[in-house]
Amino acid sequence: MAMTVGELEAMLRSAFQDAEIQIEDLAGDGDHYRALIRTDAFRGKSRVAQHQMVYAALQGRMGSDLHALALVTGPKTSA
């Protein structure tokens, strides 16, 4: 079963309430997305640790409901 943009965004917002999130459906199939996530929770974390936090937020749905997720992550930038 594919995951909608809304479902993906809701899961990410639940885990990272302060985040700036942009999601793009890369193939139009609900299975391949690119997500840009900027949150203070990533500050001081390596890129690998940031991605692990995102995968944890997806609660095991990566690889089943969601086949591919290209991640662009980092801390929020100061204004």
pLDDT per residue over 36-54, tens digit each? Answer: 999 999 999 999 999 999 9
Report whether pLDDT(79) > 60: no
Mean pLDDT, the chain, rounded, equals 92
Answer yes or no: are the C-beta atoms of 54 and 35 closer than 8 Å: yes
pTM of the model: 0.89
The architecture in CATH of the region 18-74 reads: 2-Layer Sandwich (3.30)
Residue 74 vs residues 31, 32, 37, 68: alpha-carbon distances, Å:
23, 21, 7, 19
Q: What is the pLDDT of residue 62?
A: 86
